[in-house]
Structure 1
Amino acid sequence: MSAMSSSAESVSTYPDGPRLLADVGGTNARFALETAPGEITQVEVLPCADYPSLAAALQAYLALPAVAAAGGQSVRNAMIAIANPVAGDYLSMTNHHWSFSISAMREECGFSVMDVVNDFTALARAVPMLSPEEKRQVGSGTARAETAIGLIGAGTGLGVSGLIPSHGSWIALQSEGGHVNFAPFNQLEVEILQFAWREFEHVSAERLISGDGLELIYRALANRAGQDDALPAAEITRRALAGESQLCDDAIEAFCCMLGTVAANVALTLGALGGIYIGGGIVPRLGARFDQSGFRARFEAKGRFASYIAQVPTYVITAKYPAFLGTSAILSERLAAA
């Protein structure tokens, strides 16, 4: 993976100055400068709630003293990955209140080139560039060369994408697969779904396999146990990992198993014999608890296709800021084609 640093030492070797890379989720916006091929520096994470607009967050980042000293004020080219469908010029975020016109923001920020892609499209482009140290295999399976790769990740929402091999390169899919209907696997998940229907007419996979979804699963299990209780996702995770709450651990287990179902559905849909990669903010934080969960058993529980799906390896992405690799690759292609 490209070098990451927070120092102001790097001086851009690009003739048109450093490039801005961004990875915008529903909770945080991550920014960085790329000063040369493979040199990504000045990584900063800004809470979305602290800024009225994406342009305001972006301009605040470029105005930071260390970023400005590294050439932030001379940025002319930018690529933004965002947790949202990208179709047309105007975007309104699904999991945050920011709305904007791409062309208007490009002009407001004074960029020559600025484009926006779906965040999991960018993350998918990063997958082939991950080093062995930046991913962890969970369960068995061996990746088959020159076959499709799937990508799924739970955080504020549920991202889905894939990579299709094409003449020695890859085509990244722009997908909103996280919004497919949630499909329960067993009676417990039927009861969780029925609980979710009290709040939502349409229960997508994202409604349950996300940060808010973990909270919803916990409330459903508490209700099933005759309790009226709610906890934030971070506290559910903390108590589960600390061994302080069986109910929190049960919520984590249900979450991991549900993710296994959806990941296997993606693998079957794409024919992803090249593997399924798991990103997002939640699973990497679970560490060994995820590896010990029912995720992989559920992933392989596909009836007549169990032997087929057992061939597919599953990996947790452990790289800290992998989406920057994808945005860098996409921006380089756009500039080369200009």
Structure 2
Amino acid sequence: MNALPASTAFQPSAASLYDSPRLLADIGGTNARFALELGPGRIELIDVLPCAEHATLGHAVRAYLDGDTVRAAACGTVRHAAVAIANPVLGDMVRMTNHHWEFSIAALGAELGFESFIVVNDFSALAMSLPHLADGDKWQVGGGAPCLGAPIGLVGAGTGLGVSGLIPAEQGATGAGHWTALRSEGGHVSFSPADETEVAILQYAWREFEHVSAERLLSGAGVELIYRALAHHLGQDAEPLGAPEISRQGLSGECKLCDRVIDVFCGMLGTVAGNLAITLGAQGGVYIGGGIVPRLGERFARSPFRQRFERKGRFGAYLAQVPTYVITARYPAFLGVSAILAERLAR
């Protein structure tokens, strides 16, 4: 277990009283990440549990809290908890899209004995972390300087494709103030091809799916789908490969087809990110999260991503000024869900 570096720790308002440690969680389709916030900005005892090893979210929470180190630190007094989850949160019942867990927020909070139990969309939480990221928690790929107090976009590919954004409220001249995170499911918009190769990929994908969303291609499973579709389009025989191996062979130069998959993936992501920037007027920048892009490293900067981000005809000059950032912080969603919980309790 470890802790967030002090430079990235979110500093809640003085109105947020830490009468007990707070449980923070970031639940994806593959892994459940947990931490305790022991005081303002002290996010520690981070642990990652595979979702597949736990029958329910409640079981996973108890497994984390029952660990010897966590139990000693919490002293059995965790009263408030906040969960970011890779799923729409539209009411009391939550049914995960990319995993089998489902639960009632009210019932689970009562079962676990929490006085406060908040569940939010994971990308809403990640969006709330963006104003608190230190310079070392991100790196810029193209564009100019962000406009303070302007909307910010967020998109990230991993098990699925998350989309969100921040809309400013009560902003001051320095850009400080309150933000509203969008509850978006923009990853499920219809995929929009931008060239003949992507048209061929879309036609191949239609063989498997009636509706081909952006997420079908911009995700771990999407990397594999692009690989199969490109092989078919190019008339090549391709051995079955999973997304990690496709990325590895593409980055190492072992496989030209895998290398092209990376380019196609990044180009598609550039189109989606550019669409988001125009839709939100995101002159505060567009951030790239998720598990896939940070692993590409400098290869992402050399990919077609930024070219495609700006390729919007008459709005090319507009987008050329919008900065794009890759989030490199290891557990950024904890910062956002901490901010959301602190705000709720301060009310």
TM-score interval (norm. to shorter): over 0.9
Q: Distance in 1 between matches of 2:216 and 2:196?
A: 18
Aligned residue in 1 for 2:335? 325
Matched residue pairs, number?
Answer: 330
1:240 positional shift:
1.0
Q: Distance in 2 between matches of 1:94 and 1:335?
A: 29
The one-letter amino acid paired with 1:42 is L
Q: Distance in 2 between matches of 1:242 and 1:233?
A: 14
What CA deviation, in whole Å up to 9, does each residue of 1:40-61 have, x standing for no partner? 0000010101100111001100
Find the residue that maps to 1:257 and give its secondary structure. Answer: helix
Aligned residue in 2 for 1:176? 185
Q: Distance in 2 between matches of 1:166 and 1:34?
A: 26
Identify the match of residue 219 of structure 1 among 218, 225, 228.
Answer: 228
Query: How has the CA–CA distance of structure 1 residues 104 and 141 changed in structure 2, closer, same or farther, with 3 Å as cutoff?
Result: same
1:266 positional shift:
0.3
Tell me, yes or no, if the aligned pair for 1:125 and 1:325 is still in contact at 8 Å: yes
Tell me, yes or no, if the aligned pair for 2:220 and 2:292 is still in contact at 8 Å: yes
What CA deviation, in whole Å up to 9, does each residue of 1:176-197 have, x standing for no partner? 0000000000000000000100
TM-score (norm. length: structure 2): 0.93
Aligned residue in 1 for 2:13? none
Please list, as runs of the form range in 1=range in 2, the aligned pairs for 1:72-111 lying within 5 A after superposition. 73-111=76-114
1:206 positional shift:
0.3
Runs of at least 5 residues in structure 2 that lack an aligned partner in the other structure: 9-15, 171-176
Aligned residue in 2 for 1:139? 142
What CA deviation, in whole Å up to 9, does each residue of 1:82-111 have, x standing for no partner? 000000000100000101100110011111
Q: Distance in 1 between matches of 2:73 and 2:324?
A: 38
Runs of at least 5 residues in structure 1 that lack an aligned partner in the other structure: 6-12
Aligned residue in 2 for 1:275? 285
Please list, as runs of the form range in 1=range in 2, the aligned pairs for 1:194-273 lying within 5 A after superposition. 194-226=203-235, 227-273=237-283
Aligned residue in 1 for 2:301? 291
What CA deviation, in whole Å up to 9, does each residue of 1:10-45 have, x standing for no partner? xxx965310000000000010000001100000001
Identify the match of residue 308 of structure 1 among 301, 311, 318.
Answer: 318
Find the residue that maps to 1:164 and give its secondary structure. Answer: strand
Q: Distance in 1 between matches of 2:35 and 2:342?
A: 15
The one-letter amino acid paired with 2:336 is G
Query: How has the CA–CA distance of structure 1 residues 235 and 212 changed in structure 2, closer, same or farther, with 3 Å as cutoff?
Result: same
1:144 positional shift:
0.9
Aligned residue in 2 for 1:128? 131
Q: Distance in 1 between matches of 2:346 and 2:245?
A: 46
Find the residue that maps to 1:143 and give its secondary structure. Answer: coil
Q: Which moved more, 1:219-228 or 1:238-247?
A: 219-228
1:141 positional shift:
2.0
Query: How has the CA–CA distance of structure 1 residues 230 and 72 changed in structure 2, closer, same or farther, with 3 Å as cutoff?
Result: farther
Aligned residue in 2 for 1:49? 52
Q: Distance in 2 between matches of 1:263 and 1:119?
A: 18
CA RMSD of aligned residues (A): 1.5
The one-letter amino acid paired with 1:205 is A
Off by >2 Å, runs of 4+ in structure 1: 1-5, 13-16
1:140 positional shift:
2.4
In the alignment, structure 1 residue 36 sits paired with structure 2 residue 39: yes
Q: Distance in 2 between matches of 1:171 and 1:124?
A: 9
Tell me, yes or no, if the aligned pair for 1:275 and 1:314 is still in contact at 8 Å: yes
Tell me, yes or no, if the aligned pair for 2:155 and 2:161 is still in contact at 8 Å: yes
Tell me, yes or no, if the aligned pair for 2:26 and 2:34 is still in contact at 8 Å: yes
1:169 positional shift:
1.5
Tell me, yes or no, if the aligned pair for 1:223 and 1:229 is still in contact at 8 Å: no
Query: How has the CA–CA distance of structure 1 residues 14 and 170 changed in structure 2, closer, same or farther, with 3 Å as cutoff?
Result: closer
Find the residue that maps to 2:76 and give its secondary structure. Answer: helix
What CA deviation, in whole Å up to 9, does each residue of 1:204-255 have, x standing for no partner? 0000001110110001111223325321111111111111111111111100
Identity %: 63
Q: Distance in 2 between matches of 1:147 and 1:307?
A: 18
Q: Distance in 2 between matches of 1:172 and 1:325?
A: 13
The one-letter amino acid paired with 1:206 is E
Tell me, yes or no, if the aligned pair for 1:119 and 1:323 is still in contact at 8 Å: yes
Query: How has the CA–CA distance of structure 1 residues 183 and 15 changed in structure 2, closer, same or farther, with 3 Å as cutoff?
Result: closer
Identify the match of residue 116 of structure 2 among 106, 113, 117.
Answer: 113
Q: Distance in 2 between matches of 1:283 and 1:72?
A: 39
